[in-house]
Structures are given as C-alpha cells and as structure tokens.
Amino acid sequence: MRRAAYALAGAAAGAAVLAAAWWWWTAPPRADAAALAEAAALVPAGADGLLVVADPGRAARWLLRRPQAFALFAAAAPGADGTLARMRALLEALTRAARGPLSAWWRGPEAAAAAEVDETAARALRALASLEGVPMRTRPARPGAVTVAFASDGSLLDGPAGGPPPASRPSRLSALARVGARWWRIAVARDALDAVSGDAPPLPPSGGPSAVATADLGRFAALAGADGGLPHVPCALAFGASGWVLVVPGDTLGAAATRFLTLGGDAPAPALPGARRWRGVLGELWVAPGSDLAVASSAAMLAARPALPSPGETGSVRGPELAAACRRAADAVDALPVLGSRAAALRRAAPAVGDVRLARWCVVPEGGAIRVEW
C-alpha cells in the first residue's frame, strides 16, 4: 500500500510539474511599457507604422496558438506582411536571439525589424543577412550586446529617430504599435487580445446577430484584404443563422447592378409595406428602397436592418457566424465563374475565423478599442 501511495504521489507531483511548466511556457508576453516605448523611440521617423513586441519568444508561441491575431497586423500594414514573410528566416533567427523587445516597422510594401542581441548572435545574423541579400545595420547597445536591424529596403534603416510615444497605461504591455499617427497599447491574455488607443470608446454590445458598420465601405474592404473597386460609402451589415442584411445609401447600386439582381423579376412584398422581392442570379432578395437601401436574404432580416453608422468603425462578430457566412458567400460566388478564386479563398478562411469566439471593435477619431476572444 505504501509503495502504491508513493507511486501515486510521484505521478501527481510529476503531473503538477508538467502542468506548471506548460503554464509558464505558454504564458502571454508582457514587458514594462517604458522598455517598449524606448524601443519605439528608436524607429526611424519616416515609417508609416511600427510594432514593438515584448518577449519575442513568448509572442511567437502565443501567435502559433492564436494565428488569427496576425490579421490585425495585415490590416495595419497591407503589403508589408508579405515582405516580412519573405524575410522569415532572418525574423525567426532574430526572435530566438533577441534580448528584449523586437521592433518591426514598415513604409508602403517595405519592412524592417530590429532587436538587441549578443555579439555572437550578431555575427551569425550578419552572415545570414548576407546569404539572403538583405541590408543590415548594427550599433552598440551595451557591453557585450549590439542592436541588429535589417530591412527589405536599406533606406528604412536610415534617418532620424521618430521620438517617444505618449505615456502608456497600464505599466506592463504585450506590444506597442503606431499606425499612421495613432498609437495603440496592446495586452494579450491566454484567450484574448485587447488593443486601446487614445480615449477609448465603449465596445459595441455582444448580444444580437453579428454586425459591422463602417463609414467607408471601400476602405474597410481594403483593410480586410478584399480587392478594390467598392464604393467609398457608409455601410452596415448584420448576419447570423437567419441570414443577412446589408444597408447602403440609396444611390449606391447603379442601374446595371439593379438589372443584374432582378433578372428573374421584381414584385411587391405584402408582408413589409414598401418592400419588394428581387429574383436574380443570387436568388431571392428582399429589398427596402429609399434614401437608405436595405437588401436582405429574408423578410425577417430586412425587418431587423441596422442603421447606417456615424463616422467611425464598429463591429461585433462571432467567429462561427462569420465562418458560416463565408461558406454561404462562397456558394453564391460559385454562380459567377469569373470569381471562382474568391470562392476558394472564402472557403479557406472559414475554419480559421470559426475559431474566434467573438471580435468587437470601435474606432472613432478620438480613440479606439479592439477586443478579440477565443
């Protein structure tokens, strides 16, 4: 009995040690905000934006478990994310060797990164940069350490520093970012990411169907990775298990688009005064014309249509609902042969976005708040 008890106690202790090690290994990155601000102040002033990450090793492990968070970087630096992917070998080596925060910055499609490393790692990184054909600079940091910086375009490594950001609250952060002139304070937990800028507005409520509202549809679509060509108009979209409804200014759809959507006919909808039913290539649509045009997949969604937004961007989106919407949109796009590649992209995106429990944001001129939960 005593031997069995010792065995059980040993197994319990071993499990506790493994659990504690895993808990430590997967802990989210955090560092003093002052250290992140010091690194941000050294980035050249000509950058369109920058990101300073605390504890790069932990940040990389966190991103492996929550890869959807990388979409925020892709939206902030469209084009530059592909450049960083091409410098993946150097970035991975710099992440492993970094002795403190790692900085990344971009200008248009070009990107750069820097961190403090020891002298041995600096020599290895210089050799790797030479093999990759990537410009690199070093400068003394402290005894036994140097700051290493490399870029897809050497001009990104030159020029005066941009200066310090505003003081950060709270005192410990996971990352500090600047997009244009707006600074963001970022904190991640095991299952959530929070980004705050300026005087942060309240987030939209989490109840009801998923909804997105934007003051500029064309710009929002570009940030989301969609091709250009959409009009720069306000837009509100709600979707869920009952279908979807889209609201745009009444003159957004031209005569050609209206004819395309009503090839199968246009008839009144008695259940909703003033509404009509369109039958076209995309199937049956319910429409409420007027100064604001609402187009929906069902009468119920048309009746619950949201209002067009005031200036700013807001959203409250559940991942499973967005994944289902991606699959439905892919099925609809399949009817248009010229958009076959878009349908395939929507189907590939569905599993990834489905892993996000809830994403909410509100960005206005005075400030912004973003929260993503898994």
The Cα–Cα gap between 261 and 283 comes to 8
Tell me what pLDDT residue 84 has: 86
Picking from 11-20, 35-44, 287-296, 356-365, which range would have the lowest pLDDT averaged per residue? 11-20
Q: How far apart are CA 141 and CA 116, in angstroms?
A: 7
pLDDT, one tens digit per residue, over 31-45 is: 999 999 999 999 999
> Predicted confidence band at 263 (pLDDT cuts at 50, 70, 90)?
confident
55: confidence class by pLDDT, cuts 50, 70, 90: very high
Contact 124, 116 (CB under 8 A): no
Of 26-35, 114-123, 278-287, 297-306, highest mean pLDDT? 114-123
- Domains of the chain (ranges; CATH) run 31-192 (3.30.565), 210-318+357-373 (no CATH)
CA atoms of 76 and 22, how far apart (whole Å): 32
Residue 15 confidence (pLDDT) above 50: no
Q: How confident is the model at residue 18 (pLDDT cuts 50, 70, 90)?
A: very low
Q: Rounded CA gap, 129 and 136, in Å?
A: 7
* Average predicted confidence (pLDDT) for the chain: 86
- Cβ–Cβ < 8 Å for 182, 367: no
Range 64-87 average pLDDT? 90
Query: Which pLDDT band, with edges at 50, 70 and 90, does 285 fall under?
Result: confident
Where does the pLDDT of residue 20 fall: very low under 50, low under 70, confident under 90, or very high at 90 and above? very low
State residue 16's pLDDT score: 46
Q: What is the pLDDT of residue 354?
A: 94
For residues 167-177, give the mean pLDDT: 88
Confidence of residue 254 (pLDDT cuts 50, 70, 90): confident
Q: Which residue has the higher pLDDT, 257 or 202?
A: 202
Average pLDDT over residues 14-27: 50
pLDDT at residue 102, as a whole number: 97
pTM for the whole structure: 0.86
Q: Is the pLDDT of residue 316 over 70?
A: yes
pLDDT band at 166 (very low <50, low <70, confident <90, very high): confident
Contacts of 170 (CB under 8 A, 6+ apart): 33, 187
* pLDDT band at residue 225 using 50, 70 and 90 as cut-offs: low
Taking 70 as the threshold, does the pLDDT of residue 168 lie above it? yes
**pLDDT level of residue 94 (50, 70, 90 thresholds):** very high
**pLDDT tens readout for residues 337-365:** 656 667 888 888 899 999 999 999 999 99
The pLDDT of residue 340 is: 61
Confidence of residue 56 (pLDDT cuts 50, 70, 90): very high
Rounded average pLDDT over 134-144: 92
